[in-house]
Amino acid sequence: MIQQAFFAYFAFAITVLALVVITRKNPIHSVAWMLLLFFHIAALYLFLNAEFLAAVQVIVYAGGILVLFLFAVLLVNVREEMRISRFIGAGAAGFTFAVGLLVVVLMALRSFIAAPPGMYTIEHIQQETNAIALGKVLYTEFLYPFEITSLILLVAIIGAIVLAKKGLRG
């Protein structure tokens, strides 16, 4: 019961916070709300017995990425979001579609049957400790996806340099 309550609170809070983040007009407020959002997500990881991921979530996302966000926002010096009236108002159609999708998803997921759990049960992970279990699969079974991720990050860096640093000519 207490588990359900815990999950219900965090799931609800994450959804609300995510909405708050994207609806703030002041980007600095958005970033501040996002900090709260990241902490809630970390709590959800904790709830899943993934304390290592929870720590990473706090250190990397809340500690690192968010500070970078704040930096970027302050550097470009946008106080208030620019508002441009749209060519075609799509709000009503978008809302209808979103609600429709939600209904379809909720209906469909009623037939969801969870697959039997794999070898990484909570007992197994507790015995081996979280970081070790994660490290082992990441560098053996999931070595290939892990290496692809490194390429994606490299492309992101190149992209940032190309789009931001190359001189503006023309």
Rule CB under 8 A: which residues touch another protein? Answer: 104-105, 107-118, 136, 139-145, 148-149, 151-152, 154-156, 158-159, 161-163, 166, 168-170
Residue 48 beta carbon to another protein: minimum distance, rounded to whole angstroms? 14
Choose between 117 and 123: whose C-beta lies nearer to another protein: 117
Calpha distance 138→132 (Å, rounded):
10
Calpha distance 133→121 (Å, rounded):
11
Choose between 71 and 97: whose C-beta lies nearer to another protein: 97
Tokens of 164: 């931001």
Residue 98 beta carbon to another protein: minimum distance, rounded to whole angstroms? 12
Choose between 92 and 109: whose C-beta lies nearer to another protein: 109
Calpha distance 66→145 (Å, rounded):
25
Choose between 2 and 114: whose C-beta lies nearer to another protein: 114
Residue 60 beta carbon to another protein: minimum distance, rounded to whole angstroms? 19
Calpha distance 3→122 (Å, rounded):
15
Residue 75 beta carbon to another protein: minimum distance, rounded to whole angstroms? 17
Q: At what angle do helices 2-23 and 27-47 cross, to 10 degrees?
A: 160
Block residue for tokens 């390429």: 151
